[in-house]
Amino acid sequence: MRQSDTGDEAVYGVETNDFVDESRSSRSPGIYPRSGRRQFLAAGATAVGIGLAGCLGGDGGTTYERNYDGPGVSPEGTDWEDLPDLHGELTIYSGRREAQIGPVLTEIESYYDDLTVNVRYEDNETHLRAIDEEGQNSPADILYTQDSGTLGALKALGRTVDLTDDVLETVPGSWRDPEGTWTGLSGRTRCIAYNTDTWDGDDLPTDLFAYPEDDRFHGEMGWRVDSGSFLGFVRAMMVANGADRTEQFLEDMLAADVNNYEGGSTTPNALADGEVSIGLVNHYYVGRLIADQPDAPVAITFTEGDVGSLFNVSGAAVLDSSDERELGQDFIRHLLGRQGQEFFVDTNKEYAVIEGVDYVGDLPTLEDLNPPEFDLNELADIEPAVDLLREVGMR
């Protein structure tokens, strides 16, 4: 049963059913300079055709009833009130941080009287190990991660089930498992963030590998290496450019005295404060900074034809050991529903993965980005990236 419309206020201080709509009435200023030659240019094309054999074993997902004749989601955007009611208890293993998705999970839970959501927040590697060790006794119903590679690894373990047709028809094929065992829920790009008091975007290289080789940027760059997104970025580079070239890039960045920050927001904050003037980050962290500090001297641009502008998704899968598969599928439907997708855009500054919810802000739209299509499962084997980062002293 749903909570009444006059119930408790939501996390953001507005009525539960209205928290997204009110936030969409405003647009964030100035993140994306209007001038310049490549403000609406995506890259990452080198990731096309990435070929990678999964190293974790397993034989793919478990068959689950794919045909579904109940209330489903659609690319146009489906309201929560038109989706199945949620009731019961659900356990989510989340590789995304609580600050990123806790509010929307709480919002869904508070929308229904008879729903309890338990969330365990850990890094992706910890979750994968736990699920493997727990076997069919795992308490997890859903694995929610910030990168597609982890979902591909879960599939390689044989621990996923098929999602239903309405979900698969809602999310474009390049942003979910082509075999239908996991789906993206929101998207982001890697980008070059910069301090606008120091640089003009048109003066920055369009080649990712040029940054550590340019003396102008020595001691001026920052990034975060303790994330699944960074592992996916390194793994994509290894496959696209080779392990040797990737190792050289990482060593060149260290030689250029790159600053390593913990947490996603710290690099953009360091840019705004003038600690560094170039940041290699996910785009949405800059979007959040500008939403909070409209006058911050920070903007973003994209490299061309390399993984410096890699597009990837955060997503989820239902585990084969779950006793709540139907509830898990319905919960994912809510994240793909209109309110869920608007949360990712309005609050997280990410891209929606359904056609009916547009990006609201000054970043390029997905149509402008035109990201390459490739099988995101191909980034499943992250161990070579972990090993390489250890070899160069970054882990």
Residue 116 located in a structural domain: yes
pLDDT at position 380 is 76
Residue 14 has pLDDT above 50, yes or no: no
pLDDT in tens, 74-115: 999 999 999 999 999 999 999 999 988 999 999 999 999 999
- CATH number of the structural domain spanning residue 171: 3.40.190.10
Sequence-ordered list of residues with C-beta below 8 angstroms from that of 334, at least 6 positions apart, any chain: 80, 83, 86, 108, 340
Domain span including residue 199: 188-310+386-392
Residue 268 located in a structural domain: yes
Tally the C-alpha atoms within 13 A of residue 315's C-alpha that lie toward its C-beta. Answer: 31
Same domain as 171, residue 84: yes
Same domain as 136, residue 183: yes
Same domain as 302, residue 349: no
Gap between the Cα atoms of 185 and 346, Å rounded: 14
Same domain as 323, residue 264: no
Residue 371 has pLDDT above 70, yes or no: no
pLDDT at position 35 is 32
Beta strands 221-223 and 298-301, pairing class: unpaired
Residue 104 located in a structural domain: yes
Same domain as 288, residue 193: yes
Same domain as 196, residue 168: no
Same domain as 180, residue 246: no
Same domain as 291, residue 252: yes
Residue 138 located in a structural domain: yes
Same domain as 180, residue 324: yes
- For residues 170-184, b (16+ Cβ closer than 10 Å) or e, as one string? bbeeebbbeebbbbb
Residue 370 located in a structural domain: no
Same domain as 304, residue 214: yes
If one counts the domains in the chain, the total is 2
Q: Left (φ > 0), alpha (ψ -120 to 50) or beta: where does 210 sit?
A: alpha
Going by the DSSP 8-state scheme, the letter that residue 319 receives in this structure is B
Cβ count near 295 (within 10 Å): 9
* Partners of 9 in beta bridges: 15
Same domain as 267, residue 215: yes
Residue 35 located in a structural domain: no
What tokens does 190 get? 């890697």
pLDDT in tens, 24-48: 433 333 333 433 323 322 223 223 2
Same domain as 180, residue 158: yes
Residue 369 located in a structural domain: no
- pTM value? 0.76
